[in-house]
Amino acid sequence: MKVRNSFVSNSSNASFIISLMHLTEMQVRMIHNHATMCSMFGIDKPSREGDIWSIYINEEDYCIEGSTGMDNFDMWSYLKAMKIPEEIIKWSGN
């Protein structure tokens, strides 16, 4: 698996992990509901159901994780617009 430090484009799959200790409760809700809340930041809504990221809370590791089979939704720009620091996001994809 390749680890990336930024937005993964044109990838067949991509994922990210952010420790919950770095996020507010509101940010967690906004990440979880990215498909409906993205327009608040001028980011286009996903055009297809398959473009929505799967988001879940990993309570064991105290982090929020996201994954997608297609990364057509610009999650990187969305997280950046939410003012989530780049250095706390761990990206992977291939």
The residue behind tokens 């930041």 is: 41
Q: What is the pLDDT of residues 35-76, one digit of tens each?
A: 999 999 998 888 777 788 999 999 999 999 999 876 578 898
Q: Percentage of the chain with pLDDT > 70? A: 82
- Dihedral angle at the C-alpha atoms of 44, 79, 25, 64, nearest 10 degrees? 110
The top-level CATH class assigned to 2-93 is alpha beta
Helix, strand, or coil (residue 65): strand
Residue ranges per structural domain of the chain: 2-93
